[in-house]
Amino acid sequence: MLERAIKWLLPAMVVAEVVLVRAGLLDPRSAVAVVVAIEFLLLLVAGRQIIAAVRRYRRGRSAGLDIWAAVEDGLAVLLPRPVARAVALEPRIWVCLGTWLFRRGRLQEDKFRYNKRSPVGVLLIVVVITSPMELLLFELLIPWGWLRWVLLVAAVYMLVWAFGFYASIVTLPHKLEANGLRLRYGTFADALIPYEEIAALELKRLKPPKGRDGLCVARDENAAYLTVGGRTDLTLHLRAAHLVQGLFRPTPPVTTVHLSADEPERLARELERRVESSLPH
C-alpha cells in the first residue's frame, strides 16, 4: 500500500505546487517557502524512487529476466504497472523496427516465426497508400496551420509505430530457451512455459472464440489463444495453470495454450524432444 501511494506522490506534489502558486492562496513569502519545501520533498522522493528502480532492475537481470522485462520491473517502482509497461514498450518498438530494417538474417534453429499469415503486413500497405491522401485532406480542409502540423506529426508517428509493431511480430518469434518455451505475439503478449509443465501437445488447427489475432483468453475453456491469420496450429496442455502476459489487461492463468506457428510440425518435434529430456528418468 505504501509503495502504491509513493508512486502517486510525485505527480500529486507537482499538482499541489502548481495550484498553490497559480491560485494565489499564499502571500509571496509563504509561497516561496512552500515551493522550496515541495521541491525538496520532490528531490528526496525522486532520488529514493530512482535508486529503488535501479536496484529492482538489477535484481531482475540477476534473476534471469530479459532486459525489457527488467526495465518494466524497475519502472514499476516509479509508476503504476500499466504505465510502466507502456513506457518500456516505446523504446522496444523502435529497437524492433531497427532490427527488422538493418539486421535481417537466417533464423536460428531454436526460433520459430508466426508472422507469415499475419494481416498486419497487408494493412500496412493499405496505410502507406492512403496516408498521402489523408495528408492532402488535412491540407485542404483544415485552415489552421498549427493543427495541420500537429496532425502531420501524429500521422507520421502512428505510421512509424505501426511498422514497429509489425517489426516486433517478425523479430520476436517463439523461442526454445534453456528452461522453457518462450511464446510471443510481438510486444503485445509474452509467456515462458517451462518444459516440465507441458503435459501433452497436439497439432491441430483451431479458430479463436473471438475471431481476432493476438492474445485472447477464453475463460470458459481455461485456455489462451495466440492467434495469427485467424487460426492456431499447435495446442499445449499444461500440468498446472500458467500466466500468459498481455500488454495492459491482466489475464487469468490458463491450463491450455493454443498458438500459431509458420512451421508447427518442426516446432512440435523440437518441443517434444525438449519436454522428454526435461522429465525425470
CA atoms of 169 and 208, how far apart (whole Å) = 19
DSSP string, 178-224: SSEEEEEBTBSEEEEEEGGGEEEEEEEEE--TT--SEEEEETTTTEE
Do 162 and 184 sit in the same domain of this protein?
A: no
Q: Are residues 181 and 272 in the same domain?
A: yes
Nearest to 174 by CA among 217, 219, 236: 236
Q: Are residues 152 and 117 in the same domain?
A: yes
End-to-end CA distance of the chain: 46
**Is residue 156 included in any domain, yes or no?**
yes
Q: Would residue 216 be called left, alpha or beta, if left means φ above 0 and alpha means ψ between -120 and 50 degrees?
A: beta
Give the rounded distance of the alpha carbon of 220 from its chain centre: 25
State how many domains the chain has. Answer: 3
Let me know: does 175 contact 193? Beta carbons within 8 Å.
no
Angle at 124 between CA 149 and CA 105, to 5 degrees: 115
* Same domain? 159 vs 200: no
pTM for the full predicted model:
0.74
Query: Does the pLDDT value for residue 132 go beyond 90?
Result: no
261, 198: one domain = yes
Residue 88 lies in a domain: no
The pLDDT, as a whole number, for residue 173 is 94
Same domain, residue pair 122 and 51 = no
Domain around 51: 2-79
Report pLDDT for 11.
Answer: 61
* Contact criterion met (CB below 8 Å) for 41 and 13: yes
Claim to verify: residue 181 and residue 253 sit in the same structural domain: yes
Query: E strand or H helix at 227, and its extent?
Result: strand 223-227
d(CA 146, CA 7): 35
Among 171, 195, 216, identify where a domain stops: 171
How confident is the model over 225-267, as pLDDT tens digits?
999 999 999 999 999 999 888 766 667 899 999 999 999 999 9
Tell me, yes or no, whether 98 lies in a domain.
no
- The rounded distance, in Å, linking the Cα atoms of 32 and 54 is 33
Query: pLDDT by residue (tens digit) across 133-167?
Result: 887 888 888 888 888 888 888 888 888 888 999 99
Any domain includes 84: no
The runs of H, that is alpha helices, within the chain are 2-23, 28-62, 67-78, 81-102, 120-141, 145-171, 264-278
Q: Is residue 102 part of a domain?
A: no
Q: Are 242 and 209 members of one domain?
A: yes
Check if the beta carbon of residue 208 is closer than 8 Å to that of residue 225: yes
Supply the pLDDT for residue 15.
67
The verdict on residue 100 lying in a domain is no
Which of 79, 102, 124 lies at the terminal end of a domain, its last residue? 79
For residue 2, what pLDDT band results from cuts at 50, 70 and 90? Answer: very low
**Same domain as 230, residue 136:** no
Q: Which of 56, 79, 102 is the last residue of a domain?
A: 79
Within this chain, do residues 183 and 167 fall inside the same structural domain, yes or no? no
Residue 91 lies in a domain: no
147: its cell numbers: 493543427
Task: Give the model confidence (pLDDT) of 14-73 as tens digits.
Answer: 666 666 666 666 555 565 566 566 666 656 665 666 777 677 767 766 765 667 677 777
pLDDT at 7: 53
* 12/66 same-domain check: yes
Q: Let me know whether 17 and 44 are in one domain.
A: yes
Residues of the chain above pLDDT 90, percent: 30
pLDDT value at 10 more than 60: no
Decide if 148 is inside a domain: yes
